A and B are shown apart, each in its own frame.
Chain A
């Protein structure tokens, strides 16, 4: 107990911040905006353009939640967070939710007082090297210096992978993914390791993208998804089903263009998702047309994917694991009824 007491004495502010618990849904409705924690800038996932507008596949999840709760996908206040800051920001109530390419792991789920509301991108860790090194496989990286972002699961996977293959390496950890790119570009390290999707994004950011290649090995599972505080089930449900609605909409063939028409002319399943009949909105504590707002304002999962990381973006990432379950991927929404 004494241990616990001394521990707690350290961060006194926690005691004060703790009052604003539960009831995030009501708070967001009252405030009129959603505060969403995103990355400090990662192409395709969450990035800010010159005009200050955020876009990306993670940003779309924030927008979807805002559309469901407030009826307006634009009512989001974005809070850029580094990997190190993200969980504390969520725990302390600084943000309502986190949608920041965050890997779902047991430790995070079970010991941080957080809940993962689903998966919006199935990723895996890979390596990027300079072409001039002539390396074709990650197994040739013995003795390499590796640039890496601090406080990520990537750091742990890297150590496991090199140890499992009896190789040595030097880890050079930076605070932001932008700094890792700088370190890689200046030659401080031979290899940059991160989630594959990020590697493609970082590669585009290089001065000469053609000089770097992404190695074929994928050394880990990285399911990325939105996170909320534990113990606030109403809010957890809203976030979970907002994401599910995007995935379900794609499965049912509802797009931002045809949604308005399908409300009355679609199949029963389509009509039900769009709020015509059924009371899903009532059960979640949001308006009846919540899912329709999401699809018309943000788009379905497939639209969001293609526009941000797929064929409509410079990243050109194939759907792969992130295709619908009936199209060779593992994206699957539980029934919305």
Chain B
């Protein structure tokens, strides 16, 4: 009987029987594991559904299209109580993204400044960096948020006694108010100028780089790009006869109306998130810089580079290899930490959707699931972007 088993055995000499083949066994165990896991998950889901039905708890996503009926403190898109629960999801999501982007922006700036300050030759600046990191890294974030919100911002005066600057900027316990530019005819020219300025700066930088490669001459790139970036839009504004009017905030009735309002909840959250995360980023930057061997600095000095250039051209590009992966996880932490907004009532996704919407509808599983998916997706996006960036940094190093 020359069946498949014996023929394969013949091919491999004294190979073990089919069921003794390590490769086949490995596949067999994998399949068993998948089946067991699949059955386990199926049982849990099935159990949940049956139990929920038994208890008369409604399931499904129908609630998303019903009217929410409550108002939200701050919204980047049009929203009022007549919108649906799905709209509350969007409002919360945008508010979360807003606070994350602003937080990441400031945390990065603070973190880099403080991380580099650690290597300053000035004793005071160096110690300031150490003290900053140790203080803000070691205090729970929630406490810091409470500190900024209930201790600092709540001490501001009421609307009628606002701190003001030139009757245009106002700061009081209800928030920070600033004039809002309203566009008039011809405003598009200014927008176009901004786009042209950005592209122009980029082209100029490329040109300057090439020129340096070819001729070895350096242009004052910083000042020239600054001039293009700001000069062009300002020029366009003046030429068009300032096609904007400012809407000033005005005290009417209880509160200021008009203009742009930055609510204190957002301020407290951004301040505490960026200072807290900034401390971790400072440590990442310090680690990155310290990972560059000292010989690199000495070699750079020996060819006559200035201290500033050594940092910019030699140290930082190499340090980025270490810093970028660390930054990635700090950014993700910041996004996750932004859910603490719920403690001070900033209407982020967690406060609005998992808070109010969940309570009004009772659809706990659906809402929690959607929210988990969002945070997962947002952090995957951050990871993706940071990995692209990381690849770039790593390539530069290998050249």
Cβ of A187 within 8 Å of any chain B Cβ, yes or no, is yes
Give the segment of A31-39, A43-51, A138-146 that binds chain B: A138-146
Cβ of B252 within 8 Å of any chain A Cβ, yes or no, is yes
**Given A112-B57, A143-B257, A145-B174, also A11-B368 (CB < 8 A):** yes
Instruction: Give the residue name and chain of the B residue nearest to A173 (CB).
Output: B345
How far is the CB of B337 from the nearest CB of chain A, in Å?
Answer: 17
Cβ of A264 within 8 Å of any chain B Cβ, yes or no, is no
Instruction: Give the residue name and chain of the B residue nearest to A143 (CB).
Output: B253
With most chain B CB atoms within 10 A of its CB, the pick from A8, A21, A230 is A8
| Contact partners of A5 in chain B: CB under 8 A | 45, 49
Cβ of A84 within 8 Å of any chain B Cβ, yes or no, is yes
- Residues 1-51 (chain A) with a chain B CB within 8 angstroms: 3-12, 14-16, 18, 21
Cβ of B150 within 8 Å of any chain A Cβ, yes or no, is yes
Q: Which of A9, A110, A145, A183 contacts B45 (CB 8 A)?
A: A9
Alpha-carbon distance between A142 and B344 when the two chains are bound, in angstroms? 24
Alpha-carbon distance between A188 and B366 when the two chains are bound, in angstroms? 33
| Contact partners of A18 in chain B: CB under 8 A | 47-48, 51-52
Q: Which of B255, B361, B365 contacts A7 (CB 8 A)?
A: B365
Are A156 and B70 neighbours in the complex by a CB distance under 8 Å? yes
Are A171 and B362 neighbours in the complex by a CB distance under 8 Å? no
Are B45 and A143 neighbours in the complex by a CB distance under 8 Å? no
Are A14 and B356 neighbours in the complex by a CB distance under 8 Å? no
| Contact partners of B69 in chain A: CB under 8 A | 156, 159-160
Annotate A137-164 by CB proximity to B: 1 below 8 A, 0 otherwise. 0000011110000111001101110010
| Contact partners of A120 in chain B: CB under 8 A | none
- Residues 160-187 (chain A) with a chain B CB within 8 angstroms: 160, 163, 169-175, 179, 182-183, 186-187
Q: Which of B54, B57, B81, B253 contacts A111 (CB 8 A)?
A: B57
Cβ of B219 within 8 Å of any chain A Cβ, yes or no, is no
Cβ of B60 within 8 Å of any chain A Cβ, yes or no, is yes
Cβ of B73 within 8 Å of any chain A Cβ, yes or no, is yes
How far is the CB of B352 from the nearest CB of chain A, in Å?
Answer: 9
Are A231 and B55 neighbours in the complex by a CB distance under 8 Å? yes
**Given A145-B255, A186-B150, also A87-B362 (CB < 8 A):** yes
Are B253 and A142 neighbours in the complex by a CB distance under 8 Å? yes
- Residues 172-227 (chain A) with a chain B CB within 8 angstroms: 172-175, 179, 182-183, 186-188, 190
Are B365 and A10 neighbours in the complex by a CB distance under 8 Å? yes
**Given A111-B57, A150-B356, also A169-B362 (CB < 8 A):** no
| Contact partners of B252 in chain A: CB under 8 A | 143
| Contact partners of A159 in chain B: CB under 8 A | 69-71, 81
Cβ of A53 within 8 Å of any chain B Cβ, yes or no, is no
How far is the CB of A162 from the nearest CB of chain B, in Å?
Answer: 8
| Contact partners of A190 in chain B: CB under 8 A | 254-255
Alpha-carbon distance between A119 and B109 when the two chains are bound, in angstroms? 57
Are A144 and B254 neighbours in the complex by a CB distance under 8 Å? yes
Cβ of A108 within 8 Å of any chain B Cβ, yes or no, is yes
Cβ of B212 within 8 Å of any chain A Cβ, yes or no, is no
- Residues 348-373 (chain B) with a chain A CB within 8 angstroms: 351, 355-356, 358-362, 364-366, 368-369, 372
Q: Which of A6, A111, A186 contacts B154 (CB 8 A)?
A: A186
Are B48 and A14 neighbours in the complex by a CB distance under 8 Å? yes
Cβ of A63 within 8 Å of any chain B Cβ, yes or no, is no
| Contact partners of A158 in chain B: CB under 8 A | 70-71
How far is the CB of B341 from the nearest CB of chain A, in Å?
Answer: 11
Q: Which of A11, A16, A113, A152 contacts B55 (CB 8 A)?
A: A113
| Contact partners of B343 in chain A: CB under 8 A | 175
| Contact partners of B70 in chain A: CB under 8 A | 155-156, 158-159, 171
How far is the CB of B251 from the nearest CB of chain A, in Å?
Answer: 11
Annotate B152-170 by CB proximity to A: 1 below 8 A, 0 otherwise. 0010001000000000000
Annotate B245-256 by CB proximity to A: 1 below 8 A, 0 otherwise. 000000011110
How far is the CB of A169 from the nearest CB of chain B, in Å?
Answer: 7
Alpha-carbon distance between A19 and B24 when the two chains are bound, in angstroms? 40
How far is the CB of A112 from the nearest CB of chain B, in Å?
Answer: 4
A-B interface contact total, Cβ < 8 Å: 169
Alpha-carbon distance between A187 and B162 when the two chains are bound, in angstroms? 12
Q: Which of B57, B355, B360 contacts A156 (CB 8 A)?
A: B360
Instruction: Give the residue name and chain of the A residue nearest to B159 (CB).
Output: A187
| Contact partners of A179 in chain B: CB under 8 A | 345
Cβ of A259 within 8 Å of any chain B Cβ, yes or no, is no
Q: Which of B43, B80, B356, B365 contacts A151 (CB 8 A)?
A: B356
Instruction: Give the residue name and chain of the A residue nearest to B72 (CB).
Output: A171
| Contact partners of B359 in chain A: CB under 8 A | 83-84, 87, 150-152
Annotate B65-84 by CB proximity to A: 1 below 8 A, 0 otherwise. 00001111100000011100
| Contact partners of B72 in chain A: CB under 8 A | 171
How far is the CB of B228 from the nearest CB of chain A, in Å?
Answer: 42
Are B51 and A4 neighbours in the complex by a CB distance under 8 Å? no
Q: Which of A8, A112, A145, A230 contacts B362 (CB 8 A)?
A: A112
Instruction: Give the residue name and chain of the A residue nearest to B173 (CB).
Output: A187
- Residues 71-105 (chain A) with a chain B CB within 8 angstroms: 83-84, 87-88, 91
Cβ of B342 within 8 Å of any chain A Cβ, yes or no, is yes
Instruction: Give the residue name and chain of the B residue nearest to A152 (CB).
Output: B359
**Given A18-B47, A111-B362, A159-B71, also A3-B60 (CB < 8 A):** yes
Cβ of A107 within 8 Å of any chain B Cβ, yes or no, is yes
Cβ of A229 within 8 Å of any chain B Cβ, yes or no, is yes
| Contact partners of B43 in chain A: CB under 8 A | 15
**Given A9-B369, A150-B356, also A21-B54 (CB < 8 A):** yes
Are A231 and B173 neighbours in the complex by a CB distance under 8 Å? no
Are B48 and A8 neighbours in the complex by a CB distance under 8 Å? yes
Are B254 and A113 neighbours in the complex by a CB distance under 8 Å? no
Cβ of B56 within 8 Å of any chain A Cβ, yes or no, is yes
Alpha-carbon distance between A61 and B155 when the two chains are bound, in angstroms? 41
Cβ of B123 within 8 Å of any chain A Cβ, yes or no, is no
Cβ of B41 within 8 Å of any chain A Cβ, yes or no, is yes
Cβ of B59 within 8 Å of any chain A Cβ, yes or no, is yes
| Contact partners of A11 in chain B: CB under 8 A | 48, 364-365, 368-369
Alpha-carbon distance between A179 and B342 when the two chains are bound, in angstroms? 12
CB pairs A–B below 8 angstroms (20 shown): A5-B49, A7-B60, A7-B365, A8-B52, A11-B48, A15-B47, A21-B54, A21-B55, A84-B355, A88-B364, A111-B362, A113-B56, A144-B253, A144-B254, A145-B254, A159-B71, A170-B255, A171-B71, A174-B344, A231-B55
List chain B positions with a Cβ less than 8 A from chain A: 41, 43-45, 47-49, 51-52, 54-61, 69-73, 80-82, 150, 154, 158, 173-174, 252-255, 257, 264-265, 342-345, 347, 351, 355-356, 358-362, 364-366, 368-369, 372
Known: A111-B361, A112-B362, A158-B71. 4 other contacts (CB 8 A): A3-B60, A12-B48, A173-B347, A174-B344
